[in-house]
């Protein structure tokens, strides 16, 4: 797309021999459209990945990246041998799997139920309400979760006591045994509506004539769900599942940091990401944190590749 500005190119004699900067000038519009965005992403999303190299040195803020001493795999070894290693890995996998087992099927179930509702207003209201919590920040969700569960006058303790289920109030947020349940519940509460909308969109795309044919053949509602709806939305379900398995080591961040900040919960709340954040930014052990992060990234890429391989064999894949 040439425009008046390219008049500058008349100076050059042979178009082939035009120096790079002149060619660049003559295409300044295209260049101006691409470079700002590219620079943004490169500098703030990709460049930080250089940070992984810190894992192989004794990084110090004063010496900078080039002045710091290279140390090989020291920090990895330190992480593998640290008493935190087993605990952090176990928490990451357990929390992630709990979120997967409960948070993954729930939206499918809700979408299937909503799809059976014939009253449009009712359906719309339920859908809007269930999607609403997705838009609240974790700061708010953790704020009222802490209050709802509090010992002195938290609503849950009042409810349990009035139902006669407990004698004295339970200190939910200081008891490690309850922590995983709390995390899974709050996540389910916050995110169920998001995936439901995607599944509903997928269900709406199913060819309606299949249902007509099925009902003429005498298939009841449950048979229609299992034999038509679910198989039709399997590709979408699989993509979500691949992403979930690939993110198996992403056990969550904001939620765990805000709800599990108490040192009493460290045994159950520390996952790879929050651990790296704490030792890195709060304790200033940059290189050690980078090693922990890199270890996680390598395993995550492996998991994603594996999940995608399995999905491709099932006939659906990300790439």
- The answer to whether 167 contacts other proteins (rule: CB under 8 A) is no
- The answer to whether 204 contacts other proteins (rule: CB under 8 A) is yes
Site for other proteins in 242-271 (CB under 8 A): 250, 253-254, 257-258
Stretch that binds other proteins, among 32-40, 80-88, 261-269, 307-315 (CB under 8 A): 32-40
- The answer to whether 69 contacts other proteins (rule: CB under 8 A) is no
- The answer to whether 227 contacts other proteins (rule: CB under 8 A) is no
Interface residue with other proteins, options 56, 79, 172, 286 (CB under 8 A): 286
Nearer to other proteins (CB atom), residue 13 or residue 132: 132
Stretch that binds other proteins, among 12-20, 79-87, 88-96, 203-211 (CB under 8 A): 203-211
Nearer to other proteins (CB atom), residue 144 or residue 309: 144
- The answer to whether 118 contacts other proteins (rule: CB under 8 A) is yes
Q: How far is the CB of 263 from other proteins (least distance, A)?
A: 14
Site for other proteins in 77-106 (CB under 8 A): none
- The answer to whether 14 contacts other proteins (rule: CB under 8 A) is no
Nearer to other proteins (CB atom), residue 13 or residue 217: 217
Residue 159 to residue 195: CA distance in whole angstroms: 30
Interface residue with other proteins, options 7, 73, 97, 117 (CB under 8 A): 117
> Residue 97 to residues 18, 100, 293: CA-CA distances in angstroms?
59, 5, 20
- The answer to whether 305 contacts other proteins (rule: CB under 8 A) is no
């Amino acid at each position: 797309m040439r425009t008046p500005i390219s008049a500058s190119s008349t100076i050059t004699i042979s178009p082939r021999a035009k120096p790079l900067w002149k060619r660049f000038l003559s295409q300044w519009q295209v260049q101006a459209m691409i470079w700002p965005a590219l620079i943004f992403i490169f500098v703030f999303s990709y460049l930080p990945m250089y940070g992984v190299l810190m894992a192989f040195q004794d990084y110090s803020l004063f010496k900078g990246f080039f002045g710091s001493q290279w140390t090989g795999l020291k920090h990895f070894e330190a992480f593998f041998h640290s008493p935190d290693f087993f605990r952090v890995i176990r928490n990451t996998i357990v929390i992630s799997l709990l979120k997967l087992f409960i948070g993954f099927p729930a939206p499918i179930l809700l979408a299937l139920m909503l799809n059976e509702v014939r009253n449009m207003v009712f359906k719309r209201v339920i859908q809007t309400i269930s999607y609403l919590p997705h838009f609240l920040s974790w700061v708010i969700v953790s704020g009222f979760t802490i209050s709802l569960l509090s010992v002195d006058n938290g609503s849950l303790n009042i409810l349990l006591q009035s139902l006669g289920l407990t004698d004295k109030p339970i200190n939910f947020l200081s008891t490690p045994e309850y922590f995983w349940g709390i995390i899974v519940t709050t996540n389910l509460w916050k995110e169920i509506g998001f995936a439901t909308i995607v599944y509903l969109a997928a269900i709406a795309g199913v060819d309606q004539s299949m249902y007509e044919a099925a009902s003429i053949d005498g298939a009841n509602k449950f048979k229609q769900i299992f034999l038509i709806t679910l198989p039709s939305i399997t590709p979408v379900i699989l993509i979500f599942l691949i992403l979930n398995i690939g993110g198996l080591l992403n056990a969550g961040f904001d939620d765990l940091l805000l709800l599990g900040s108490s040192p009493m919960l460290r045994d159950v709340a520390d996952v790879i990401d929050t651990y790296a954040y704490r030792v890195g930014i709060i304790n200033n052990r940059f290189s050690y944190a980078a090693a922990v992060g890199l270890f996680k990234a390598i395993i995550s890429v492996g998991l994603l590749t594996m999940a995608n391989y399995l999905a491709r064999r099932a006939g659906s894949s990300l790439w």
